[in-house]
């Protein structure tokens, strides 16, 4: 029997084949990527340099900003480069690495959002025990746990894909390596592999989403006993997180909680959760958070003073 040889590279079709649209998207995406990295870096620097933002909530927020920047950087730079490239290719190893890193960071972010919901639950429903339970060691442990969970999720996901034979064709109708397009290209029957892959990601989404819903149901029940001012502060604290949860989980549920198939809208959904969501997260948290805005103004003032002194 002739041995089946795997392909050595894949060809990415990208978002569009229109050269004029590609040039326009290049400009738009490079601006969006710059804003994403600048916004998330500003959040990290502001929290790290501001003693007033030393609570667990802001520690988790800085970790989320790091994950957003890393998640966006995994695929977006190549996507931007490919918009002007004549031949859009990625090696088999590079494709598997891209897929693995995406699921490590994506899984870690989903778990971290659940951790942040638990943090809000402890702060609102168990205020007397909050600083004791959510100490520095516990916060670091929970962040490490999110990365370990993301790694294990990605390891299971990649093991389903990497051993599949790919003997041609090697054209991926996407701008990055994605699970379902790869399963479609495999030259073996994937009717059993596909459901396992979907279950792996779908279970993580549903489990984390269930934890989030449970946390916020308990928070809402607890807020009933607060004064109107206390309820307002409680809702304001949670509103930003709930908005981010919706932005992250809706695409995740759309992609994985469905039959194994490919839709034309998948590429645009991918643009949303790989570019738009990481770009919006810093805006969502800063626009609705007076403490973060105050800390940013203080940081800006200190930077201007230091700049003036160095220039003299």
pLDDT tens digits, 252-294: 777 777 666 666 788 888 888 899 999 988 888 777 777 888 8
Name the packing angle between helices 277-287 and 290-311 (round to 10°).
100
| pLDDT score at 1 | 35
ω into 143 cis (within 30 of 0): no
E strands, 124-278, in order: 171-172
| pLDDT score at 218 | 84
| pLDDT score at 3 | 40
| pLDDT score at 4 | 44
| pLDDT score at 300 | 78
Which stretches of the chain score pLDDT less than 50? 1-4
Could you tell me which residues come within 8 angstroms of residue 52 by beta carbon, excluding any fewer than 6 positions away?
A: 291, 294, 295
| pLDDT score at 305 | 66
End-to-end CA distance of the chain: 78
The CA distance from 87 to 147, in Å, is: 35
Q: What domains does the chain contain, in order, with CATH numbers?
A: 9-300 (1.20.1070.10)
pLDDT tens digits, 228-257: 776 777 677 677 778 888 888 888 777 777
Beta bridge partners of 12: 172
Q: What does the block give as tokens for 1?
A: 């029997």
Q: What does the block give as tokens for 242?
A: 């709930």
């Amino acid at each position: 029997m002739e041995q089946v040889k795997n392909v050595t590279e894949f060809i990415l079709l990208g978002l569009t084949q229109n050269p004029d649209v590609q040039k326009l998207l290049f400009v738009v995406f490079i601006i969006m990527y710059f804003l994403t990295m600048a916004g998330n870096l500003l959040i990290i620097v502001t929290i790290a340099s501001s003693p007033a933002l030393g609570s667990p909530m802001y520690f988790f927020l800085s970790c989320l900003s790091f994950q957003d920047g890393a998640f966006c950087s995994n695929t977006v730079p190549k996507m931007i480069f490919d918009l002007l490239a004549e031949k859009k290719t990625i090696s088999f190893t590079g494709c598997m690495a891209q897929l693995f890193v995406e699921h490590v960071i994506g899984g870690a972010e989903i778990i971290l959002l659940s951790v942040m919901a638990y943090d809000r639950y402890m702060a609102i429903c168990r205020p007397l025990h909050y600083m004791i339970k959510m100490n520095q060691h516990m916060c670091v442990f929970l962040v490490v746990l999110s990365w370990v969970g993301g790694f294990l999720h990605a390891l299971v996901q990649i093991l389903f894909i990497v051993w599949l034979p790919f003997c041609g064709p090697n054209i991926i109708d996407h701008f990055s390596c994605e699970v379902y397009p790869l399963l479609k290209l495999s030259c073996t029957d994937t009717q059993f592999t596909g459901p396992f892959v979907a279950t792996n990601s779908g279970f993580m989404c549903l489990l984390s989403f269930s934890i989030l819903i449970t946390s916020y149901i308990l928070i809402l029940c607890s807020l009933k006993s607060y004064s109107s001012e206390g309820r307002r502060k409680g809702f304001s604290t949670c509103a930003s997180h709930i908005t981010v949860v919706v932005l992250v989980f809706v695409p995740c549920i759309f992609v994985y909680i469905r039959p194994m198939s490919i839709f034309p809208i998948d590429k645009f959904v991918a643009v949303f959760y790989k570019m738009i969501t990481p770009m919006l997260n810093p805006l969502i948290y800063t626009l609705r958070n007076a403490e973060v805005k105050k800390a940013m103004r203080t940081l800006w003032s200190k930077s201007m003073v230091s700049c003036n002194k160095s220039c003299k």
